[in-house]
Amino acid sequence: MLGMKGAALETDIWKIRVQLTKPVTWIPLIWGVACGAAASGHYQWNNPTQIAQLLTCMMMSGPFLTGYTQTINDWYDRDIDAINEPYRPIPSGRISERDVIIQIWVLLLGGIGLAYTLDQWAGHTTPVMLQLTIFGSFISYIYSAPPLKLKQSGWAGNYALGSSYIALPWWAGQALFGTLTLDVMALTIAYSLAGLGIAIVNDFKSIEGDRQMGLQSLPVAFGVDTAKWICVSTIDVTQLGVAAYLAWGLHEELYGAVLLALILPQIYFQYKYFLPDPIANDVKYQASAQPFLVFGLLTAGLACGHHVNAVAAAASATGAL
């Protein structure tokens, strides 16, 4: 039911609906919202109202909008999945076309409704949550649907996916409790290059179907050996760059050191699982390495939040003088 490779052939319609949304993919978005809240510098972890707002934002980003993204992606990938993953709900015929379309609209409109509610709840004069939701939903659509179908292009598609999993939920969490600034937006856009690398990992399981359907994923375009090195290099270099920025750009040396410590196990698992056989070990690698990546993302969020508070305290002290 989690939507992983080799999923069970569920027969209950509600279990099938959940499987179609791939709950395992909700986790990075939910986590990204928490990272954005931490980066705002204004989220109070023991405030019941803010906890409720955070959980609502997580519900919007995870089950609703990620569920929408996964459902619409499976709809437009049904021919490819018939080759690569014929057990999926749509190619296996376990859910009707009408039910899929209804699910797409319910999840999309539900996510938009939650975004509007959060704007009202937070007292935003500009509906920033609604704007982010519409923008993210549009990216999800053009990623999967023709005529653009960004996923046909390895670089553009993988970066769109990576930024949707890292930058957008971070922005939502930070905008809900604080103010989005250009430096943080630039940081998260850069961090999304690590998400691009993670997206490439997912392409290895679909090489045969992508090749038959003419999709230029990086493993198809460059071959398995070159693509696997592009993948790990993107993940590692991006995070090392962020660690350096935390230490020397924000002067948050401790957070930079913690992020570096979280990068090293990822490199270890790349050499243990992914690089020897990225096709057979993609799930094993992600299960082993991604917890360190997502804790690294939280470390960056906490560093930004600490920096915001430090700057505000310094400004307050200067004003008092």
Question: For 27-50, what is each residue's pLDDT tens digit?
Answer: 889 999 999 999 999 999 999 999
Confidence of residue 232 (pLDDT cuts 50, 70, 90): very high
User: How many of the other CB atoms lie within 10 Å of CB of 220?
Assistant: 21
Domain ranges of the chain: 13-310
User: Rounded to an integer, what distance in angstroms lies between the CA atom of residue 67 and that of residue 70?
Assistant: 5
Q: What is the mean pLDDT of the chain?
A: 91
DSSP labels, 17-70: HHHHT-GGGHHHHHHHHHHHHHHHS---TT-HHHHHHHHHHHHIIIIIIIHHHH
Burial class (CB in 10 A: 0-12, 13-18, 19+), 90: buried
3-class secondary-structure state, position 87: coil
Closest CA to 81 of 70, 12, 156: 70
Tell me what the mean pLDDT of segment 139-146 comes to.
93
Predicted confidence (pLDDT) per residue in 76-123, tens digit: 999 888 888 888 899 989 999 999 999 999 999 999 999 999 999 999
Angle (CA) 249 43 306, round 5°: 25
Contact present, 214 and 83 (Cβ < 8 Å): no
CATH topology of domain 13-310: Farnesyl Diphosphate Synthase (1.10.600)
Measuring CA to CA, how many Å separate 38 from each of 136, 166, 183, 247, 298? 21, 14, 16, 18, 8
